[in-house]
Structure 1
Amino acid sequence: MMRSLYSGVSGVKGHQTRMDVVGNNIANVNTTGFKSGRVTFADTLSQTQSSASAPAGNLGGTNPKQIGLGVGVSTIDTLFTDGAVQATGKNTDLCLSGNGLFVVKNGNETYYTRNGAFEFDESGNYVMPGNGMKVQGWMGTNGTLSTTGAVTDIVIQNGKPMEAKATEQSIYSYNLKANPPIITEYSFTNGTTTYTRTSGTHDGYYVEASTSQPVTVTFSDGTKTTYTSGVYTIGRSLPVSTTFNYYDSLGTVHTATVLLEKAAVGAMSYTDENGNTQDNKTGTAWAVSLGSTAAVKETDGSTTNYSLGTHTLAFDENGVLRTATNFTPTDALTYDSDSAIAQADMSYEPDDITASSAATIKLTATVHAPNGSTRPQDITLDYSNVTSYADINTINATANGNAAGTLKSVSIDSSGVITGVYTNGVRQSEAQVAVAQFSNISGLTKTGSSLYQASNNSGTANVKTATDIGCSITPSALEMSNVDIANEFSDMIITQRGFQSNSKIITTSDEMLETMINMKR
């Protein structure tokens, strides 16, 4: 009789625990990043009246006779299913999806959380504003991120300055048209005399057009155009003008212009991608020249001189840029001495085709300040990404370097990279948020304030980027609680009925005990 009382008591206590968990779930239905819990029951020890016996002789086997002694709480599990994503519009809020947690620190103590309601404090620390714990990740260095080292506090001070950085490289990309029309003839009038130069007889002759000396140019496609500016060379294409902005050591912006002219060349030799030498191959070559040989006057009163030297870009028969040798130009450049514009007064002069080509060229810009000081600067022009296919001309140059600036805003992407936007227009990676993954995430210990700590059964934290461990981050959003109200209400009804049933066991057992006691009277 006493067994049923104890069984009823254990059932009441077990269902009370389950109701406590249900109540906690419902209380946290709107808690950011909250993970619901559940209770599972298991029967306790059973009292054996008789053991099982094996079949013997003419008798069959018998089963054991056991009386259960009640129920116990087997587990209280934390369910780490994803909650719904709720947009907030706050750019420092993060919603984490997948099997991972954010890493935060309080001194030397490390905690983990799904609550991504972060913001920057007065000192630029990226923190949980409710308790000041610092979000962990990897800090960038001049826009370069490395996630191989240990994590550290993320600190991005508002108004962070960026120093001016002189341009060191200008990278050319896309395509240089392989089949532009070639100049086959030009004519101009100097005074009362008209001069005509034609290919074959005057290959390599060049002249500059002006309003006082227009030049009529005939191309290989049969078209004819009259120009009042520019330099035109028999046997070459019209110059392709490429410009790019660059910065000096003080952060002052300048503009450089480089011209490319297709020229006729003979066979060439080059080394292919497999290291084999290819001889007597056909291809195309482009002469590289400065857009102006005169000093450029700057707005601050200084002047800038450019020096480029003589360079050639050579492309093979497949339009691939090669480090080529042994090709010979078919034109020798000759200034047209009948022109009214003296050679020394020309805006620029075309450069010769050299006997070899390379993918990188050095451009030197020297700023002459009004006080007499000079600031020379070398810029590498990198053409290694340029191709030369037919019909399209999309070549473009982009230089590095920047003026001085200050941080004005940040944005965060789905991999947790925090990008800073500066007043000088530069965008660079400032930091990346770390994400921890555990072998048994349900084994973490809750410490309150939506925080967890590692336990003996959670495993060791594997701290990586969100992408590395298969998680994703939604910026400007928070993860809602994963509590399902309908499910909790159903559990509450079931738990209530279980509690009532076990209470009835106690009262019924008590009545039976009372009846037994009354039998003596």
Structure 2
Amino acid sequence: MLRSMYSGIAGMRGFQTQLDIVGNNIANVNTVGFKKGRVTFQDMMSQTVAGASAPTGIRGGVNAQQVGLGSQIGSIDNIHTQGNRQTTNRALDLALEGDGMFVFATGIALDANAVDIADVNLQYSRAGNLYLDDFGYIVNPNGQYLLGVNGLTAEVEGQEPDNITVGAEQATRIRIPESASSFSIQGDGTVIYIDANNQTQEAGQIMLANFSNPGGLEKVGSNMYRSSVNDGMVGTNGIPQLIAPETQGVAQIVSGALEMSNVDLAEEFTDMIVGQRGFQANTRIITTSDEILQELVNLKR
């Protein structure tokens, strides 16, 4: 059989994957905190028809003769560039300007006290659309608790404030009491509220996790990421070091705004056209190869 037919099949498979990535990007063009994907290609192994030969005293060198056998997926990347900021003027809408991610946790009981972080499910996100639950804790749309440190959380139903051991630090959920008349979140993550006596109180400080290779994080859906062995987490033994905003090179928190998707529609439509034409061109290779085979079969006639 003709090599070109199999090369065409490999090309069609690769461009189909590219169109899948482009379609997902376009579908999430308005998703808060979404980071676009990108696919790259690389050539497959080549069949050596004739090897190279070195020059001699009477003849020059000859290059190798190789026939390529198509293309394959080289990588599928998550591009963690800064997304555009959309102003909402809602106090619990937070955008990150710079590196870092919010840290969210599940698996914390309301009566927990000094829970080891190894027993807690941690996930990370750039999506800062946050809410208050029935007890006043700051959570994301999935009900996962936003983590901070040094929280002055009031007792819930007579129980002591809960902490999570993170190395030498104490991470905590952040709770705004029901008696608070108003609250605000500063650029360094500090959550401030006005109590019933019209006094300013601190509910805690939102902390961030940072990764030297955020492209190594794994998407788990719902705008969330989980750690992998190749994300370059700043921390030890898979436990993140919680970093205060505006320190150690991590992001500033902007309250009243959201970081939107970093998808560029013009770029995606261009990639879609290129992918479509590449797919069509590879189908033409298969069609042409089939016509050549048909001519060979008809030689007997």
Task: Give per-residue Cα distances to partners, 1:391-413, cap 9 Å, x unaligned.
Answer: xxxxxxxxxxxxxxxx2221001
User: Counterpart in 2 of 1:122?
Assistant: 134
Q: Is the 8 A contact 2:8 2:286 kept in 1?
A: yes
Give the Cα–Cα distance (whole angstroms) in 1 for the partners of residues 91 and 228 of structure 2. 33
User: Counterpart in 2 of 1:315?
Assistant: none
Offset of 1:42 from its aligned partner? Answer: 0.5
User: Counterpart in 2 of 1:133?
Assistant: 144
SS at match of 1:519: helix
Task: Give per-residue Cα distances to partners, 1:179-216, cap 9 Å, x unaligned.
Answer: xxxxxxxxxxxxxxxxxxxxxxxxxxxxxxxxxxxxxx
1:484 to 253, 264, 277: 264
1:149 to 156, 169, 173: 169
Task: Give per-residue Cα distances to partners, 1:134-158, cap 9 Å, x unaligned.
Answer: 1111133499xxx971322222232
User: Counterpart in 2 of 1:442?
Assistant: 215
Over aligned residues, Cα RMSD in angstroms? Answer: 1.7
TM-score by length of 1: 0.50
Offset of 1:18 from its aligned partner? Answer: 0.2
Taking only the aligned residue pairs, the percentage that are identical comes to: 46
Give the Cα–Cα distance (whole angstroms) in 1 for the partners of residues 43 and 99 of structure 2. 32
Alignment of 1:201-350 (within 5 A): none
SS at match of 1:5: helix
Q: Is the 8 A contact 1:142 1:428 kept in 2?
A: no
User: Counterpart in 1 of 2:117?
Assistant: none
1:501 partnered with 2:281: yes
Give the Cα–Cα distance (whole angstroms) in 1 for the partners of residues 36 and 221 of structure 2. 14
User: Counterpart in 2 of 1:61?
Assistant: 61
User: Counterpart in 2 of 1:85?
Assistant: 85
Give the Cα–Cα distance (whole angstroms) in 2 for the partners of residues 408 and 73 of structure 1. 55
Q: Is the 8 A contact 2:153 2:176 kept in 1?
A: no
SS at match of 2:254: strand
Q: Is the 8 A contact 2:151 2:173 kept in 1?
A: no
Letter in 2 for 1:114: R
Task: Give per-residue Cα distances to partners, 1:423-480, cap 9 Å, x unaligned.
Answer: 3232122111111111211000000001000111112344201112321111011111
TM-score by length of 2: 0.86
Offset of 1:502 from its aligned partner? Answer: 0.7
1:411 partnered with 2:184: yes
1:463 partnered with 2:236: no
Q: Is the 8 A contact 1:48 1:66 kept in 2?
A: yes
Unmatched 5+ stretches in structure 2: 108-119, 155-165, 234-239
Give the Cα–Cα distance (whole angstroms) in 2 for the partners of residues 28 and 467 of structure 1. 29
Offset of 1:124 from its aligned partner? Answer: 1.3
Structure richer in strand, relative to its length? 1
Give the Cα–Cα distance (whole angstroms) in 2 for the partners of residues 8 and 37 of structure 1. 24
Q: Is the 8 A contact 2:46 2:67 kept in 1?
A: yes
Offset of 1:85 from its aligned partner? Answer: 0.9
Give the Cα–Cα distance (whole angstroms) in 1 for the partners of residues 152 and 128 of structure 2. 25
Alignment of 1:16-55 (within 5 A): 16-55=16-55
Q: Is the 8 A contact 1:112 1:452 kept in 2?
A: yes
Structure richer in helix, relative to its length? 2
Q: 1:142 to 1:445 in 2, by over 3 A?
A: closer
Task: Give per-residue Cα distances to partners, 1:295-344, cap 9 Å, x unaligned.
Answer: xxxxxxxxxxxxxxxxxxxxxxxxxxxxxxxxxxxxxxxxxxxxxxxxxx
Give the Cα–Cα distance (whole angstroms) in 1 for the partners of residues 170 and 84 of structure 2. 31
Q: Is the 8 A contact 2:151 2:172 kept in 1?
A: no
User: Counterpart in 2 of 1:4?
Assistant: 4
Q: Is the 8 A contact 1:54 1:61 kept in 2?
A: yes
Task: Give per-residue Cα distances to partners, 1:109-165, cap 9 Å, x unaligned.
Answer: 11000110001111111101x21011111133499xxx9713222222321xxxxxx
Paired residue total: 270
User: Counterpart in 2 of 1:111?
Assistant: 123
Give the Cα–Cα distance (whole angstroms) in 2 for the partners of residues 2 and 97 of structure 1. 54
SS at match of 1:41: strand
Give the Cα–Cα distance (whole angstroms) in 2 for the partners of residues 480 and 156 of structure 1. 26
- Report the structure number with the largest CA radius of gyration: 1
Q: 1:505 to 1:441 in 2, by over 3 A?
A: same
Letter in 2 for 1:154: I
Q: Is the 8 A contact 1:139 1:154 kept in 2?
A: no
1:475 to 248, 255, 263: 255
Unmatched 5+ stretches in structure 1: 160-406
